[in-house]
Amino acid sequence: MALVDPVAIARDLIRCPSVTPAEGGALAYIEDLLKRAGFAVHRVTFSEPGTADVENLYARIGTASPHLMFAGHTDVVPLGDESAWTHPPFGAEIVDGVLYGRGAADMKGAVACKLAAVLDHLAARGGKTNGSISFLISGDEEDVAVNGTVKLLKWAAARGETFDHCILGEPTNPNALGDMIKIGRRGSLNGTLVVTGTQGHVAYPALADNPVRGIVALMSALMAEPLDQGSAHFDPSNLEFTSVDVGNKTVNIIPAEARARFNIRYNDRHTRDGIKALIEQRATDAAAGRVRWRIAWDPSNADVFLTKPGPFVELVAGAIAEVTGRKAELSTSGGTSDARFIKDYGPVIEFGLANRTMHKVDERVPTADLVALTAIYRRILERYFTP
Ligand SMILES: [Zn+2]
């Protein structure tokens, strides 16, 4: 029997113009493919005031355990400067063995590989498997991510859906396929440091209190010491100032207030509340009762998490080694992803294509990588469902 062709599926998906949050025909295409393979497919639309309605898809075959879930998204980031593309972003052209198009790497390519691997796995077993396989596909990953995976997981859980392991297909490899599995992500937190002074004439500083002096002192203190030394699976936590603002257009006024925005990426040595308390303690110490300050914390839904290495991670790493000959690094680097939501329902790891061209002009993937990633997912399925 001929193998299912992941390149053909990837090209079909790229030709769907699903710039976030548009569905663009991508979910309809997947629905059709999975229905024909015997999946129960649900298309679910979520809404939230102030955001666009977004379509999502959940599909499952089988009722028994174990249950392996494949997660991903079909929305893509905007094209940027379309005239800068060498090949049309929705054209899915193949030139010299490389497939071009928006979403080729992030992550229609990997979604295509998962579909091809699962269809092939089922075909080889007479349309059935020893447990359950599901697809959790979001249409809202690349923008605000409020009407996508977070709600789809809740929706599935309310229907009694549970899974044993999940593979999210984000592009995880820095250079070559097989470089890196993500087994966790750092937490992310934004805040604004506000220092209040007293406005006054620049020629009469004794009658004013310049907040610039205070914010400089607090900022240097917050940047001076590392937040920790890292942990077994994580780099050291880091605080980075991203903007410093006084907003003063005059030359003769001492301003009343100064603000500095910052982002913290924190590891598993901290909880969200713990890292906030640590920063506030350091600010209190630096202020020494002389600087009037406060920190306004932004709401965050990006907590740190780690899927501890164990049999499942070894199974995935083994499949990668078998196909690529590479020993994948187990990493927690990079930004956040939908794994931050999935981890609340079960263990999740991320493995997909190479990430060098994601979100860029001329996003692309070698077709050989699509074939190899399909072979990796196929081996994972074989090992996972072999008693
Ligand atoms: Zn992505």
170 C-alpha to ligand 1 centroid (Å): 5
Average pLDDT score over residue span 154-162? 97
The whole-number pLDDT of residue 304 equals 95
110 C-alpha to ligand 1 centroid (Å): 10
> Does position 248 have pLDDT exceeding 80, yes or no?
yes
Average pLDDT score over residue span 330-352? 95
Average pLDDT score over residue span 228-242? 97
Q: Which residues are catalytic?
A: 75, 141
The whole-number pLDDT of residue 1 equals 45
> Does position 249 have pLDDT exceeding 90, yes or no?
yes
Average pLDDT score over residue span 21-36? 97
CA dihedral sign of residues 116, 80, 338, 47: negative
User: What values do phi and psi take at 222, rounded to 5?
Assistant: -70, -25
19 C-alpha to ligand 1 centroid (Å): 12
Amino acid identity, position 131: G
Give the model confidence (pLDDT) of 37-73 as tens digits. 999 999 999 999 999 999 999 999 999 999 999 999 9
Of all residues in the chain, the percent with pLDDT exceeding 90 is 95
Q: How far apart are CA 1 and CA 131, in angstroms?
A: 23
The whole-number pLDDT of residue 383 equals 96
Give the model confidence (pLDDT) of 296-320 as tens digits. 999 988 999 999 999 999 999 999 9
Of all residues in the chain, the percent with pLDDT exceeding 70 is 99
Neighbour tally for 55: CB within 10 Å? 24
364 C-alpha to ligand 1 centroid (Å): 14
Q: In Å, how far are 184, 217, 307, 337, 375 from 233, measured between CA atoms? A: 8, 33, 10, 18, 28
Give the model confidence (pLDDT) of 76-105 as tens digits. 999 999 999 999 999 999 999 999 999 999
Categorize the per-residue pLDDT at 145 as very low, low, confident or very high, splitting at 50, 70 and 90: confident
Categorize the per-residue pLDDT at 2 as very low, low, confident or very high, splitting at 50, 70 and 90: low
Which has the closest alpha carbon to 43: 29, 238, 179, 52?
Answer: 29
User: What values do phi and psi take at 309, rounded to 5?
Assistant: -55, 140
Amino acid identity, position 335: G
Which has the closest alpha carbon to 309: 281, 349, 343, 342?
Answer: 349
User: What values do phi and psi take at 254, rounded to 5?
Assistant: -80, 125
241-267 burial: b if 16+ Cβ within 10 Å, else e: eeeeebeeeeeeebbbbbbbbbebbbb
23 C-alpha to ligand 1 centroid (Å): 15
Mean pLDDT score across all residues of the chain: 96
> Does position 387 have pLDDT exceeding 80, yes or no?
no
Residue 141 backbone zone (phi > 0: left; psi -120 to 50: alpha; other: beta): alpha
The whole-model pTM stands at 0.91
Helices (DSSP H) in 148-307: which residue ranges?
A: 149-158, 211-224, 272-287
> Does position 144 have pLDDT exceeding 90, yes or no?
no
Q: Going by DSSP bridges, is the β-strand pair 165-168/292-297 parallel, antiparallel, or unpaired?
A: unpaired
240 C-alpha to ligand 1 centroid (Å): 24
26 C-alpha to ligand 1 centroid (Å): 15
141 C-alpha to ligand 1 centroid (Å): 7
38 C-alpha to ligand 1 centroid (Å): 27
The whole-number pLDDT of residue 197 equals 97
Q: How far apart are CA 70 and CA 336, in angstroms?
A: 18
Q: How far apart are CA 205 and CA 209, in angstroms?
A: 7
